Amino acid sequence: MRDVLGELMAWWESGETIGVGTVVATFQSAPRPPGASMLVGPDETAVGSVSGGCVEGAVYELAQSVVGSGEPVLERYGVSDDDAFAVGLTCGGILDVWVEQVSRETFPELGEIAADIEAGRPVALATVIEHPDPARLGTRLVIRPDAPGAVVPDVDQDPGVQNLELRQGLSRLWSDRATDAVTDDALGLLASGTNATLTYGPDGERRGEGMRVFVWAFAPKPRLLVFGAIDFAAAVARVGSFLGYDVTVCDARPVFATASRFPDADRVVVDWPHRYLRAEQAAGSIDRRTVITVLTHDPKFDVPLLEEALRLPEVAYVGAMGSRRTHDDRMARLREAGLGDHELERLSSPIGLDLGARTPEETAISIAAEFIAGRWGGSGERLASTSGRIHQERPSPVGE
């Protein structure tokens, strides 16, 4: 939806009714990921794509039908062995498409969701796309990390709005069990910025079937700040990008801090690290999801930078590379600079988990493993050596 949000909001704000088809699940080699949307506007124009062209015509016609009837539809498209001319995907994949009618009346909360997305505030939208009770279809729940549950603006009662009491009401679904289950899982998806379809029993039972809920996770990417333009930094930037982070590499030396040396970074900055971090904090660009890695192991860069980093109100992770001797020297310098035990306890140094890593790529995995464990509260132990649940009862990532 993010790619077509501008056009959608223009129609929504003008009071029009739009047909929206969204990929909610894919199998095998489907061309578009979950969350990809296509709009059918009031002037019969199509905006966006759900399959790169394979089934757009069928979804267009279905969206027009849904606009007319007001009844949402979940449709599966794939390869048909029986009819070579049937609508399907030439790539051999399968996708589920949820098609619904969107207007101010049927989706009053869209304005606030769009405002959150525009402002870079994380917000998740959960929509019931399959349920034994047809009255539950299309029910929505809006989830924000600081206020789990739906946050919906007041609208006038209108008997023509389907399921108004469900879509509007009391920041919840039809039961506490369903609300809690969907909220917990949506927060986990929001933390990772992942769209997904979740399966439950009809009332949110964890081990049941019958209800499917699609979650759009509109989350700005968490930031990974890599200080020190060295070969290890290139590997950390590459792994960080793979994990979905917005990656910045910063170094005061312009000969090393170049875009060509760090093709996986979203930006490469030439500046003194501590000065750059201070400016980013002042600009409001550092938050509790931010990961800071200090790879220079040079005191003239490290100490001023770590003074800034460890005094930040809240970040997800601060790690610094170096030998045991470098670590001891660094800690002594930081104490001389006035940092206390509470601040120094936030520092992961030497950086990373003990994987026996040797190469830059292995070291990057070691570093990433440590901040992933910190994010989700993992122990870093071998799962084979532990017992009990693999994941926590409720997703509660550190720094989210």
Nearest to 228 by CA among 299, 179, 161: 299
Whole-number Å distance between alpha carbons of 75 and 212: 13
- Ranking 110-119, 164-173, 385-394 by mean pLDDT, the lowest is 164-173
Secondary structure class of 72 (helix, strand, coil): coil
Q: With cut-offs at 50, 70 and 90, classify the pLDDT of residue 314.
A: confident
Secondary structure class of 296 (helix, strand, coil): coil
Nearest to 92 by CA among 74, 77, 109: 77
Is residue 83 over pLDDT 90? no
pLDDT in tens, 230-248: 999 999 999 999 988 999 9
Token pair for 225: 């700040």
Whole-number Å distance between alpha carbons of 250 and 223: 13
- The tokens 């970074």 sit on which residue? 265
Q: With cut-offs at 50, 70 and 90, classify the pLDDT of residue 27.
A: confident
Nearest to 35 by CA among 246, 199, 196: 196
Instruction: Give percent above pLDDT 90 in the chain.
Output: 62
Is residue 99 over pLDDT 60? yes
* Average model confidence (pLDDT) across the chain: 84
Instruction: Give percent above pLDDT 70 in the chain.
Output: 84
* pLDDT at site 222: 86
Amino acid residing at 63: A
Q: Do strands 347-348 and 317-320 pair parallel, antiparallel, or not at all (unpaired)?
A: parallel
Q: With cut-offs at 50, 70 and 90, classify the pLDDT of residue 171.
A: low
Is residue 292 over pLDDT 90? yes
Whole-number Å distance between alpha carbons of 150 and 137: 16
H helices then E strands: how many in the chain? 11, 15
More confident residue, 212 or 383: 212
Whole-number Å distance between alpha carbons of 185 and 122: 15
Query: Counting beta carbons within 10 angstroms of the beta carbon of residue 162, is it exposed (0 to 12), middle (13 to 18) or buried (19 or more)?
Result: middle
